[in-house]
Amino acid sequence: MDMEPVRDRRSRSGNGKAPLPASRRPDRAEAEEAVRTLIRWAGDDPAREGLRGTPERVVRAFSEFFSGYDSDPVELLQRTFSEIDGYDEMVVLKDIRFESHCEHHIAPIIGKAHVAYLPDKRVVGISKLARLVELYARRLQIQEKMTAQIANTLCEVLQPKGAAVVIEAAHQCMTTRGVHKPGVTMVTSSMLGAFRTDSNTRREFLAMIGTPGTHGLDNV
C-alpha cells in the first residue's frame, strides 16, 4: 500500500517547527519599528494620533496569526487511544474553519478543511484534528503545501490505513488585489494509502463531505 508521506524538510524540522534563518529573531521593539517603516512607506505618519498604537497592535496580531511556528504538529498527535474494539471504519471531521495567510502577499486565506483517516490500531481525539489544521494554518502558507502537511503528519504519527484531506478556501491575494476575482474558491486534496488506492474508500469520503467548491464559503 502506497502511503509514504511526502517529506517537506523546509516546512518542518525535527521538532516540528519551521527552521529559522541563521540570524537571530527580531525582538518586539524591532518588529514594531518595522511596522512604522511600512506606515511611512505607505505615505502616512506613524506618530499621528490614530496610528500611534498601530505598530503594537500589528505585532500582537502577528503573534496570533503565526502562532503555529511555536507548536510541534507531531507532539500534538502523540496522545492516542488503542481501545477501539476493532473499529476500522473511517473517521471524518468536516467543515473545519480556518484562517491563514499566503506566504506571497501575507493576505488572508479563509476556508474550511475536511480531514479523514482509516484507523489501524490507534485513534486520536477529534479536537486534535481541528488543532492540527489550525497549527498549520497559523503559518505563512500556500494551500497546496498546507493540504499535504496535514495528511503527511496524520500518516506519520497515527500510521493509519489511509488519510485524506480536502481544503477549499478563498484567497484575498486574488480577490482584493491583482486580478480582483471575488467568489472564487480553490480546492486542493491529498489522498494517501487506502484513499489513493481504493476508489470506493475515496468515493465514500467525498460523499460524506459533499462536492467541494459547490456550497460556497459565504458562511465560513
Of 99, 105, 156, 204, which residue is the catalytic one?
Answer: 105
Residue 79, Cβ density class (10 Å: 0-12 exposed, 13-18 middle, ≥19 buried): exposed
Catalytic status, residue 171: yes
Cell of 123: 485513534
Of 172, 173, 204, 215, which residue is the catalytic one?
Answer: 173
Of 32, 102, 134, 149, which residue is the catalytic one?
Answer: 102
Catalytic status, residue 114: no
Catalytic status, residue 143: yes
Of 32, 101, 114, 143, which residue is the catalytic one?
Answer: 143
Q: 198: which DSSP letter?
A: -
CB-CB neighbours of 86 under 10 Å: 4
Of 32, 114, 168, 171, which residue is the catalytic one?
Answer: 171
Cell of 3: 502511503
Q: Alpha-carbon torsion 204, 99, 159, 92, what sign?
A: negative
Of 99, 103, 156, 204, which residue is the catalytic one?
Answer: 103
Of 75, 78, 104, 144, which residue is the catalytic one?
Answer: 104
Catalytic status, residue 101: no
Catalytic status, residue 104: yes
Q: Can you tell me whether residue 178 is helix, strand or coil? A: coil
Point out the residues that are catalytic. 102-105, 143, 171, 173
